[in-house]
Amino acid sequence: MRTEYVLALNGAGFHRICYREWGSADNDRVLLCVHGLTRNSRDFDELAKSLSRDYRVICPDLVGRGGSDWLPAGQPYHLPQYLNDMATLIARLNVETIDWVGTSLGGIIGYCLAAMDHSPIRHLVLNDIGPLIPQSALARIASQITEPVFNNRDEVEACMRERYPAWRYLSDEQWYQLSLHATRTDEQERLHWHFDPAIGSAATEASTADIDLWPVWQKVSIPQLLIWGQDSDVLTETTVRQMQQNEQLELLELPGIDHVPSLMEPEHITTIVDWLRRHRNH
């Protein structure tokens, strides 16, 4: 794994986007893996390892998360900023086409880019996200973006195990690694979540109504794999069944799993690897 940076533009100046790169830098087959709202690039470590023989795998930290800069005060954390940042990253990679794996927010960014004219995205894996997100789910997510202070990693891990019940099948080692990358340390050696607290305010502002992006998603005409936790409140069965009307979409259903599947379990990884390989020449 290599750590790189690219400069992107916001309304007040430049900020750095950090990204992790796996596999050969000479491979012209590129896969972008983009995380969810308050997560970071290290969620994809295991998937990236599994795909690094086939791809040059790029896992960015969205602005305000992980190793990327926080936006200046007053600059909004919203979809246009993320789209601009990822377009900048794609330009840095200097390739004509890419494949995309997106978890939750990362999936929204992916299908918004895929819907645009002359998009470089060829194949799209969406992890528990669709074109309609109910207001109730948005409000729940916003309410969970708190700013706790942790004294040690055991406290971090305990909080994460409670917050992410969909990840209950992960190993102790996986939980340790997740907790290791989930926090930053302040001057008093206390631990905080590794994202800008302003993201919580932005999520609250966006949680007053449903997010309806059906007109955008309906412009996506490339092969798609949708991974659905059947107990998800973010991706409802009604939305899934409507998405299935698109003949380009394949579905992996995960019974008893809510938002959001980890993409770290063997079934998840095998399904994604096999699906991308099957579509390699399409």
Looking at residue 217, what is its pLDDT? 97
Beta bridge partners of 18: 5
Tokens matching residue 201: 């305010």
- Element (DSSP H or E) covering residue 211: strand 211-212
Looking at residue 282, what is its pLDDT? 65
User: Which among 215, 230, 250 is positioned nearest to 125, based on CA atoms?
Assistant: 250
Cα dihedral 17, 20, 25, 31 sign:
negative
How many CA within 13 A on the CB side of residue 117?
0
Residue 40 has pLDDT above 70, yes or no: yes
User: Which among 273, 282, 278 is positioned nearest to 53, based on CA atoms?
Assistant: 273
Domains parsed from the chain with CATH numbers? 2-133+208-278 (3.40.50.1820)
Looking at residue 222, what is its pLDDT? 97
Separation between Cα atoms, residue 166 and residue 232, nearest integer Å: 9
Range with the poorest average pLDDT among 15-19, 131-135, 188-192, 277-281: 277-281
* DSSP E strands, 111-174: 121-127, 132-133
How does the average pLDDT of the chain come out, rounded?
A: 97
Alpha carbon 125 to chain centroid distance?
11
Looking at residue 280, what is its pLDDT? 81
Separation between Cα atoms, residue 48 and residue 260, nearest integer Å: 18
Is this prediction's pTM over 0.95?
yes
Residue 281 has pLDDT above 80, yes or no: no
**Average pLDDT of 45-53?**
97
